Amino acid sequence: MSGKRTGGEPGELKIFAGRNSVELAESITRHIGIPLAKARTSMFPDGELLVRVDEDVRGRDCFVIASTCRPVNDNLMELLIFCDCLRRASANRVAIVTPYFGYGRQDRKAEGRVPITAKLVANMITSASADRVLAVDLHAAQIQGFFDLPMDHLSATPVFLEHFRSIREGMGELCFVSPDVGNVKVAEGLANALGGDLAIINKRRLSGSTVKTGHLIGDVKGKTVLMFDDMVSTAGTISEAAKFVMDRGASDVIAAATHPLFVGEAVERIRSSPISKLVVSNTVPLDEQTVAPIRDRITVLDLGDLIGEAIHRIHCNQSVSALFDGEAGLKR
């Protein structure tokens, strides 16, 4: 998604950034046409965080950009303290923007005596007196209902579509493969938008870091396979799926994911996999030292324009859903 914002004036709008999301926040403010608001987060020797806002926010609409990625608990706590700080400084509205929503995979009781931590985090944000929440490509769309306040679920699909349309001619015959059943809707939407076949892999998760591929529904022989998922965490799913489709005759494998978490053995798994390109977004900042062995395979797409336009529309009381009219659907 590219271009400047359309319609309306930003008025009294302030955008702040958590420590891990400064680059993304700067891209967002460039799209809107305002400077990044000034604030500081410092840490006491015992690990406590202190947020200081260095400009007047009384009566302003304030948006805080902060992904709750590693270190998850520190970033989450910073976000909550930011919200409390702005509320006590008499901001008019405080909106939380979590491009990556941590704890999103703990969205249900998969077995006895376990928590639903995604709901707990939603309750914490609500208790911090936030007025609104924005997130990009939640792991499960039903998390929207965990919040007792307005929640905007943005899709990174338009940005990924723009990128793949720009290189579509050189990709040859495409087959869009969903690495799990839950992501079929997105794969189908991409296939309809870019042109190509659809295939599905049945997987079984053995543990938090290990998956086992099962059966392939569809034909990938001689085709470039494009796999899209909401995140790359340990890379167990995409690396196994890539090997699986290559064994069944695929000519190339391109992977795409909104959130590049890259934890555990992710980089080594991708390095040893047949994935030729990995396209991700900047919802989570990359540790360049960590990803150095696979950096030449990675393309990072900027979501600043997309999130910036959503913030502008919310501030000006315009439709956010209109941003996604006619594009591939969200994960269900």
Q: Where are the domains of the chain?
A: 13-156+304-324, 157-300
β-strands 151-154, 174-178: how paired? unpaired
Other CB atoms within a 10 A radius of the CB of residue 161 amount to: 18
Report helix, strand or coil for 143.
helix
Task: Assign a CATH topology to domain 157-300.
Answer: Rossmann fold (3.40.50)
Output the pLDDT for position 82. Answer: 98
Catalytic position from the list 14, 203, 223, 331: 203
What does DSSP assign to residue 267? H
Q: 8 falls in which pLDDT band (50, 70, 90)?
A: very low
Output the pLDDT for position 209. Answer: 53
Q: Which residue has the higher pLDDT, 182 or 56?
A: 56
pLDDT average, residue stretch 270-295? 97
Catalytic status, residue 277: no
Residues 262 and 300: beta-carbon distance below 8 Å:
no
| Helix boundaries (H) for 61-156 | 72-88, 117-127
Output the pLDDT for position 187. Answer: 87
Non-local (6+) Cβ contacts of 27 within 8 A are 282, 302, 303, 304, 305, 308
pLDDT at 183 over 90: no
Question: pLDDT tens digits for 102-127?
Answer: 999 999 998 999 999 999 999 999 99
Lowest-confidence range among 3-17, 125-139, 237-251? 3-17
Other CB atoms within a 10 A radius of the CB of residue 145 amount to: 10
Q: 179 falls in which pLDDT band (50, 70, 90)?
A: confident
Please tell me the pTM assigned to this model. 0.92
Do the domains 13-156+304-324 and 157-300 sit in the same CATH topology, yes or no?
A: yes
Q: 210 falls in which pLDDT band (50, 70, 90)?
A: low
β-strands 252-260, 275-281: how paired? parallel
pLDDT average, residue stretch 6-14? 63
Output the pLDDT for position 10. Answer: 47
Q: Which residue has the higher pLDDT, 186 or 7?
A: 186
Output the pLDDT for position 185. Answer: 83
- Taking the C-alpha atoms of residue 321 and residue 332, their distance in angstroms, rounded to an integer, is 17
Lowest-confidence range among 14-18, 48-52, 126-130, 183-187? 183-187
The size of the chain, in residues, is 332
Residues 277 and 297: beta-carbon distance below 8 Å:
yes
Residues 271 and 235: beta-carbon distance below 8 Å:
no
Going along the chain, which residue ranges are E strands? 13-17, 39-43, 49-53, 61-65, 93-98, 132-136, 151-154, 174-178, 197-205, 211-217, 224-232, 252-260, 275-281, 298-301
CATH classification number, 13-156+304-324, choose in 3.40.50.2020, 1.10.3720.10, 3.40.50.2300, 3.60.150.10: 3.40.50.2020
Output the pLDDT for position 7. Answer: 45
- Taking the C-alpha atoms of residue 9 and residue 262, their distance in angstroms, rounded to an integer, is 39
* Number of alpha carbons in the 13 Å side-chain half-sphere of residue 137: 29
Q: Which residue has the higher pLDDT, 180 or 282?
A: 282
